[in-house]
Each structure stands twice: as C-alpha cells, then as structure tokens.
Copies of this chain bind each other. A is one copy, B any other.
Amino acid sequence: MLNSSSYFSLNGQFITDNLPLNLLNDRGLAYGHGLFESILLNDSRLGLIDRHLARLCEGAKILSIPLDSSLVLKFINLFIDQLHAASVTDGVVKIIVTAGEGGRGYQSPADIKPTIICSYSNLPAGFSDYRAQPLSVRYCQHRLSDNQALAGIKHLNRLDQIMARNEWNCGRYQEGLMFSASDHLLEAISANVLVKNRAGDWLTPDLKRAGIKGVMRSVMIEEIFPACNIAISIAEVSGDQLAQCQVLLLCNSVKGLASVGSLYDGQNQLVKSLPIDQQTLMLYQKLIELYPQYK
C-alpha cells in the first residue's frame, strides 16, 4: 500500500516528536559531511540492499566516517519493521549517514560517532509514467564539478544536481542530462545513462572525475547486459556521440530502467527522437525477470 505520511528514525530510534538539539551541530548539515542512499521498498522488502550498503561503506571510507555496516542494516531492518507495523509496505526508504556532531571547523572529531537517519516517503510523483512510456529529457547547462577524489560516491554535497534541476520548472521533461566542463555526457540528474552509439555499441560514461556510480548502473553492467549477451563498455561519451546515438536509456535503483524518446537541448529545441529497439526490450525483460519489482 501507499501512504502519504513521513516516518523517521534517528540512530535506530523511531522518531515521532522532537529531535535532539545537537542535530544543529551535525557535520551533515554544516558541511554535507556524509552520504545517502534511496532504496526501493517493495512489499516490505528492500531492493538491492547489499549493493546499497556496499556503496555506503565505500563512501564512508573515502570520507573517513567509521561505519559499522551491520549496525546500519540493523537500524534499517528495525525501521522496516516499524513501517510494516504501520501498514506501510511500499515506497522509498532513504538512509542518511553523517560524520555526526562536530564543533566548529573542518577538522573531523577524533572520535566520530556517525548519525544514521532512516526516512520513508511515497514513491516519487510520475513514477508509473517513468517506466511506462519513453521519456522527454533535456540537456542541462550546469556542469558537474570536476573532482577525482569525490567522484562516484553518493555524498551529501549535491548542489550540482540542484542547480541543474532548477533549470526548468514545467512538466515537459522527466529528466535532465548532465555534462562535464569539457562537454562530455556524464549522467542524468537522478539516474545513470546507457548509450547505444551510432555504430551500435553500448557505452556508459566513465565517472572517474565526476558523477555518481549508481546501484542500478552496476546491476546493468554486471548482470543484465551479460545475461543478455550484449557487450557494454565504460568510456567517454562526447556531445556529438550523444547527438548521434541510436538509443538512450536511464537507470536508477528506485525507478528502474527507462528509455528516452525525445532529446531536447538547453534551449528546448528537439535534438532528436529515439525509438525503442529490440535490445532495449531484451534488457528490460531480463531486468524484470531477475528483479520483478522493476516491472
């Protein structure tokens, strides 16, 4: 069932009332010193939880946040139990992990005690449209920040995505494509991209310098493409390659796999229309065979 209320837990405690004052000193709020995961909750089960936890721990290591993954999982499971008791079985569970309380100054405290927040929300608006019909997407003007040390992980510094998403306000586009300063395609605002180029080869952008390595991206590369016997490589994708592509797919662990039908530039001019090809249907069939929650 769907439920419109929000639910929260803080460090394993279900919160229905007030929060402790020290949250105003949290390094997540002060500096974005933390990470998050948005996980699909389907019939009280969390999809791809192992991959989400693995990415969370990898990010925590890079940000020097000591994180006990079994404790995080325990808190998540407690949260799911409490949602279930409230008859909430479907939606999105978001986990935020921060470096916890830390006074003034950038230096991390010697003894970091992470803050672990679980929150629930309904499936996003437009969710059913996203999978059911080809999407309209546009190019974003805002460029992703270039930084090798922070690329790949899902940290809390997300001004790039906010700047890009604020470029349009109408309901005409379901997603925006984001580029590097050197005009290479990197990802969509809330999804990774899979491109079938003019020659018929599948590519997904190299995210060494910027972008988030999505959980669904790894499922596609490691499981779905191989199971369909279709090769895919990680490579740079230039703006020209994008404009000449045969197929463009978006993938996201909450929304699943979607195909782009119309590509618009930053001035709302149609760049091209894209068909749904046979390989896309194969990939989609294999995905929902292995992960029926993405049907």
Residues of A within 8 A of B (CB): 6, 8, 10, 15-21, 23-33, 36, 38, 63-64, 92, 94, 96, 98, 103-108, 117, 119, 121, 124, 142-150, 155-166, 181, 189-190
- Given A24-B19, A121-B103, A166-B64: A160 touches B142 (CB 8 Å cut-off): no
Are the CB atoms of B24 and A10 closer together than 8 Å? Answer: yes
- Complex-state Cα separation, A161 to B30, whole angstroms: 12
Are the CB atoms of A92 and B104 closer together than 8 Å? Answer: yes
Are the CB atoms of A190 and B23 closer together than 8 Å? Answer: no
Q: How many copies does the complex hold?
A: 2
- Complex-state Cα separation, A27 to B163, whole angstroms: 13
Closest to A17 in B: B21
Nearest first, the 5 A-B pairs at minimum CB distance are A18-B18, A32-B32, A157-B157, A31-B158, A145-B145
- Given A146-B146, A181-B146: A108 touches B162 (CB 8 Å cut-off): yes
Inter-chain contacts of A146 with B (CB < 8 A)? 145-147, 181
Inter-chain contacts of A105 with B (CB < 8 A)? 124, 165, 190
Are the CB atoms of A159 and B63 closer together than 8 Å? Answer: yes
Inter-chain contacts of A165 with B (CB < 8 A)? 105-108
Q: Give min CB distance, A153 to chain B, whole Å.
A: 10
Are the CB atoms of A166 and B108 closer together than 8 Å? Answer: yes
Are the CB atoms of A29 and B162 closer together than 8 Å? Answer: no
- Complex-state Cα separation, A26 to B64, whole angstroms: 24
Q: Give min CB distance, A200 to chain B, whole Å.
A: 33
Q: Give min CB distance, A117 to chain B, whole Å.
A: 6
Inter-chain contacts of A36 with B (CB < 8 A)? 30
10 A/B residue pairs, CB under 8 Å, sorted by A: A8-B21, A18-B21, A32-B32, A33-B162, A104-B121, A105-B165, A107-B165, A146-B146, A147-B181, A157-B157
Inter-chain contacts of A26 with B (CB < 8 A)? 29
Closest to A38 in B: B104
- Complex-state Cα separation, A161 to B103, whole angstroms: 15
Are the CB atoms of B158 and A33 closer together than 8 Å? Answer: yes
Inter-chain contacts of A15 with B (CB < 8 A)? 21, 24
Q: Give min CB distance, A97 to chain B, whole Å.
A: 12
Closest to A121 in B: B104
Closest to A254 in B: B104
Query: Among B103, B119, B160, which residue has its beta carbon within 8 angstroms of that of A24?
Result: B119
Inter-chain contacts of A28 with B (CB < 8 A)? 29
Are the CB atoms of B117 and A24 closer together than 8 Å? Answer: yes
Are the CB atoms of A159 and B104 closer together than 8 Å? Answer: no
- Complex-state Cα separation, A119 to B21, whole angstroms: 11
- Given A94-B104, A104-B38, A149-B142: A29 touches B156 (CB 8 Å cut-off): yes
Closest to A64 in B: B166
Inter-chain contacts of A19 with B (CB < 8 A)? 18-21, 23-24
